[in-house]
Amino acid sequence: MFDAIVVGSGMSGAIAAKELCERGLKTLVIERGRKLEHGTDYTDSMMPWDLPTGNMIPQEELARDYPIQSLCYAVNSATKHYWVKDSEHPYSTPENKPFLWIRGYHLGGRSIMWGRQTYRMGEVDFAANAKDGHGSDWPIRYVDIAPWYDHIENFIGVSGSKEGLDQLPDGNFLPPMALNDAERDFQAQMAKAFPGRHVIPGRCAHLSEAKPHHIELGRNPCQYRSLCERGCTFGAYHCSLSSSLPAAERTGNLTIVTDAIVHSVIYDAKIGKATGVRVIDAHTKAHRSYDAKIVFLCASTIPTTQILLNSRSGDNPNGLANSSDQVGRNLMDHIGTQGTTGIYPGFLDRTYYGRRPTGICIPRYRNISEDGDFLRGYLYQGSITRGGWREAVALAKGTGADFKESIRKLPPWTINLYSFGEMLPNPSNRVTLHATRTDQWGMPIAHIDITHGENERKMAKQIDEDAEAMLRASGATIVPSQLLPGQPAPSPGELGPAGMGIHEMGTACMGKDPRKSVLNRYNQAHDVPNLFITDGSAMASSGCQNPSLTYMALSARAAHHAVEFLKAGQI
């Protein structure tokens, strides 16, 4: 018997485990994937000549095993061991309604490969559902989560600048990673041309400066290599393996089990509580169970939904914690278009050194300082960069002396802007269990049914129009870009498939009304008082910010209250 079970070891699960362990609970973390060792299993020290096939996955293998995963920029021969083989992990979608499920099953989950952009949601985000009537009203507001944002930012280390913007609240920041000359020029030009639009350094979970508590965990400042998707031996960016799990382990209260796929939550109707979880051994397929006083589901949005729906019984015929029929509904992902690219003028006598692992951010301004003919808003991320000798060779002209002279000149600067836009909660966008198809462990596969609505389509059109207007105002020359490798460039404003934001969320949403939501203000299931859910499925709306910081803040907050409830005998 454990005090607590945490299902999942990624962004939210590892933070939940750390907080529970530090508060004295004997905690079991269950990870469906294999064990991964910090440093030892990373490929960030491999040289280009060490990488097979030019760091590309051979086409035959790509088509067979990674047709979906390979659509993510971070999938290559050096990183493919972090990503699932699509051939081994099927799911279903309706015809002509694709969803691109990007994922990795191993200790640490996607915290190893995440983009590390780290932003707070603001009061405008937490109040949005109540204001316009879409989705369940958040049972918390910014004031409730702000101290937990502070707590997480201090622990993980977030580089950023203070800007005083309500829609993108300032945080507990390490020094920002400075903009380069071209980005500072773009920043100044946007301030003149579009006074309500701010160009700021991207806020990222990298140690621009290591504090004593980071050093105690063996973490070191960023080396500006930008090989982050391979794992960071220096521990410069926050991930479960370098940060939260080591913090949990040093308490002596942590137990980790890998290669254990959670089948369902065990529920005792006599006491109205969860008593543990059933698991399937990933290799032997043997079944076993673990018992605990409280259970945290942090398996990520879609797997958590599968577990809840698979926890059917005579007392819970629609799945556990689902008296509201909201489990699986309101699936969201941030929307994006193909992005906008241009050649940035000037600064040909300047360059920069190192590969900064972040770029620029333009915080939301639509329906803040500028109106839109749609609800909610979007932000941009991007960069202005200049290629090195590889790009110079690719652009070189002539032969002999002309060729040599050509490659001595660096290519021009390139500006890229891409967006994250808010997708409205919609109960018709949902995850269910397939009626007949099962995976290799005998569990029903996920059936994912999601489509963009008119609000998203209007937003996408404005996203592209605004990006092009900003590039033109800066003097940049717009060049064609594409959303997916090997695909023709979509028309302006055309949305790509859902899932490519890799920010899926919303299927077990928080809310004030148990009839319309799954979780209360403490991420505690309305129907099962000792069951907590703190991954992306808990989100009542998405905002337009990268959501991992919010997941972690909610996880720490829920763990605190779970321990208090346990001590008080309330659960």
Greatest pairwise CA separation for the chain in angstroms: 85
Residue 9's pLDDT is 98
Question: Which amino acid belongs to residue 271?
Answer: I
Bridge partners of 366? 370
Q: Is it the case that residue 392 has pLDDT exceeding 90? A: no
Q: What is the pLDDT of residues 143-191, one digit of tens each?
A: 999 999 999 999 999 999 999 999 999 999 999 999 999 999 999 999 9
Q: Is it the case that residue 394 has pLDDT exceeding 80? A: no
Residue 489's pLDDT is 55
130 membership: H or E segment, kind and range: helix 128-132
d(CA 31, CA 6): 9
| Phi and psi, residue 146, nearest 5° | -55, -45
What is the rounded average pLDDT of the residues 443-454?
A: 98
Regarding pTM above 0.85, the answer is yes
Residue 483's pLDDT is 44
CB atoms under 10 Å from CB of 401, counted, come to 8
Sheet hosting strand 340-344, strand order edge to edge: 200-201, 360-362, 378-386, 413-421, 340-344, 477-479
User: What are the chain's domains?
Assistant: 2-159+203-334+427-449+500-567 (3.50.50.60)
- Backbone dihedral region of 252: left (phi > 0), alpha (psi from -120 to 50 degrees) or beta? left
d(CA 220, CA 210): 6
Q: How many residues does the chain have?
A: 571
Residue 488's pLDDT is 54
d(CA 291, CA 71): 39
Q: What is the pLDDT of residues 222-272, one digit of tens each?
A: 999 999 999 999 999 999 999 999 999 999 999 999 999 999 999 999 999
The rounded Cα 406 to chain-centroid distance in angstroms is 41
Name the token pair of 348.
């040909």
What is the DSSP code string of 203-229? PBSB-SS--HHHHHTT-----S---GG
Q: What is the pLDDT of residues 475-526, one digit of tens each?
A: 999 998 654 445 555 566 789 899 999 999 999 999 999 999 999 999 999 9
Give me Rg for the CA atoms of the chain: 23
d(CA 536, CA 425): 13
